[in-house]
Amino acid sequence: MGTPLDQLGPQPLELAPCPPAAEPGSACGRAGPVWLVPTGVDRGPAELADFTLEARVGGRVVVETGGVSRSLRVAGPSGLRAAVHGMRLKISVLRTFPAGPSALDPSDARAKELATAVVQDAAALWGQCGFALGGFALGGSALGTLGPDDVRVVDPPKAQLLEVGCDGGLPAQGGQVELATRAGPVKLITRPGESPGSIAVRLSLELERRGFVTRVAENPPIESGAGPSYDVSVAGRNASSPELRAPTAGKFTTDPTLGLCLGDLDLADGLQHFEDETARAGTLEERSLLRGLATAEQGTVGVLVVPYFSGRGRIGEAFIGGGGAPLENLVLLDRAGLRATARSSTLAHELGHVLLAQPGHPDDFGVDEPSRLMDADASDASAFGPRRLLLEECQRALTEHGPASAAPLLVPADTPQPD
Ligand SMILES: [Zn+2]
């Protein structure tokens, strides 16, 4: 049996007719109903406190009466045949600079505690679908609890990102690309008509020849662009910085159409977040962070907590993949987003974009339904806040990321446990 979450009672018993199996002369009583709620907030008004019990999917409710104890498993919704699915989450709390304070607290231990509490609350809302998010051990009682390795405090990545074709993915007209590195200058002649993809590959080979470790990835084209741009992720051996910068002459390229941009990741001045135009690719600074951390672990959703986003209004972002998007199953959240989680369920909402594989919201074109988790702008810290999921949303999550999907995140966690 796992750690106790909540306790209710003693509950008053009402006399009730006995079931046929009861021994003759027995007296029978009935208690309840008792509502199981995912978090303390969902208890609702005080009058309901005597009828609600906090419970987690995958756990058990123990009933004790007259010295006899029985337990019942907390399962998923009956509309989904009570199935329980688990999903792994990996949480990385970023430091503002290497060896500096983390996004949440100067103490690493405290930062991990804060992150764990918020993630568990957010994950609990998905219990409505029978999903136990946040690390789980099949066959064990650790369902829905984050393990010690699932929450980490990490330095910003030392790897750097170059985007080839950053001016709308236009082909080259002919010129020279040049950059300074820790291992000396790297120069490349571009040919008229050559695509950014071809130049990215040649540049990466050139860098590897200097002893760097590189990776090339295609970005989805932006609406106003001619074609895709390409990211070249560059790391020094032993995870050192490649120290990429502009050449002394000041310009990365003399080619009139081929753009070359160097990602500048600085969490101290706020992470530049994406606007609609770049939504599928993320900004160059976001990609420098996400590609550099290499958090993409198959079947896992990565949650990254940064100090703050630059500009106003943005507190959380989801990278949902699909449609050629280069980054997937990642949620970015800043300190404000973590704080707003109680009011707006920000983290559970962003996880919803990933699970439903849907960037939009039910109220984007329709009626506001502020009690729904996926409502775009609801904010309310009570049980009536944006916390509810519909059965069809649970079904959609299983279609998109269930065990039989092309990109499974949710795996069956049905392990028979003795009473
Ligand atoms: Zn949203």
Size (the chain), residues: 419
Distance 187 CA to ligand 1 centre (A): 43
Distance 351 CA to ligand 1 centre (A): 9
The encoded tokens of residue 149 equal: 């390795």
Segment among 142-151, 197-206, 209-218, 315-324 with least mean pLDDT? 142-151
Distance 181 CA to ligand 1 centre (A): 40
Maximum mean pLDDT: which of 48-52, 177-181, 336-340, 412-416: 177-181
N-term to C-term CA, the chain: 9
Confidence of residue 378 (pLDDT cuts 50, 70, 90): confident
Calpha distance 416→413 (Å, rounded) = 9
Q: Is 209 helix (H, G, I), strand (E, B) or coil?
A: helix
Distance 401 CA to ligand 1 centre (A): 18
Question: Is the pLDDT at 126 greater than 60, yes or no?
Answer: yes
Distance 267 CA to ligand 1 centre (A): 23
pLDDT tens for 329-360 read 889 888 888 877 667 788 999 999 999 998 88
Q: Quick one: DSSP state of residue 253?
A: B
CB 267 within 8 A of CB 306: yes
The predicted model scores a pTM of 0.86
Which residue stretches of 136-260 are H helix?
196-209
Q: What are phi and psi of 57, to 5 degrees?
A: -55, 135
Q: Quick one: DSSP state of residue 291?
A: H
Q: What does the pLDDT average to over 204-233?
A: 89
Distance 350 CA to ligand 1 centre (A): 6
Question: Is the pLDDT at 136 greater than 70, yes or no?
Answer: no
Question: Is the pLDDT at 208 greater than 70, yes or no?
Answer: yes
Distance 358 CA to ligand 1 centre (A): 9
Distance 89 CA to ligand 1 centre (A): 19
The b/e string for 256-271 (b: 16+ C-beta within 10 A; e otherwise) is ebbbbbbbebebeebb
Distance 81 CA to ligand 1 centre (A): 28
The encoded tokens of residue 120 equal: 């568990």
Distance 344 CA to ligand 1 centre (A): 10
Q: What are phi and psi of 127, to 5 degrees?
A: -60, -25
Of 189, 231, 190, 183, give the one whose Cα is nearest residue 208.
183
Strands 85-94, 151-154: pairing kind: parallel
Of 148, 146, 144, 147, give the one whose Cα is nearest residue 56.
144
Residue 348 buriedness (CB in 10 A; 0-12 / 13-18 / 19+):
buried
Distance 28 CA to ligand 1 centre (A): 50
Q: What does the pLDDT average to over 379-396?
A: 86
Residues ≥6 apart with Cβ < 8 Å to 343:
379, 380, 381, 385
Maximum mean pLDDT: which of 266-280, 314-328, 371-385: 371-385
pLDDT tens for 300-320 read 899 999 988 887 667 788 888
Distance 291 CA to ligand 1 centre (A): 23
Residue 142 buriedness (CB in 10 A; 0-12 / 13-18 / 19+):
middle
Calpha distance 39→86 (Å, rounded) = 18
Distance 65 CA to ligand 1 centre (A): 46
pLDDT tens for 137-146 read 443 444 556 7
Confidence of residue 280 (pLDDT cuts 50, 70, 90): low
Q: What are phi and psi of 86, to 5 degrees?
A: -105, 155
The DSSP line for 97-120 is STTS-BSS-SSHHHHHHHHHHHHH
Distance 206 CA to ligand 1 centre (A): 41
Distance 374 CA to ligand 1 centre (A): 6
CB atoms within 10 A of CB 178: 18
Segment among 70-79, 85-94, 269-278 with least mean pLDDT? 269-278
For position 138, what pLDDT does the model report? Answer: 40
Give the rounded percent of residues in the chain with a pLDDT score beyond 90: 38
Distance 132 CA to ligand 1 centre (A): 21
If residue 177 lies in a helix (H) or strand (E), which one and from where to where? strand 175-181
Distance 376 CA to ligand 1 centre (A): 5
Q: Quick one: DSSP state of residue 126?
A: G
Distance 404 CA to ligand 1 centre (A): 26
Cα–Cα distances (Å) from 234 to 174, 288, 396, in that order, read 24, 10, 38
Q: Quick one: DSSP state of residue 240?
A: -
Which residue stretches of 11-132 are H helix?
108-125
Tokens 């002893």 -> residue = 211
Distance 139 CA to ligand 1 centre (A): 34
Question: Is the pLDDT at 277 greater than 60, yes or no?
Answer: no
pLDDT tens for 36-76 read 888 888 887 777 888 899 888 888 899 888 888 989 888 89
pLDDT tens for 281-307 read 678 888 898 888 865 577 889 999 998
Of 107, 199, 108, give the one whose Cα is nearest residue 162.
199
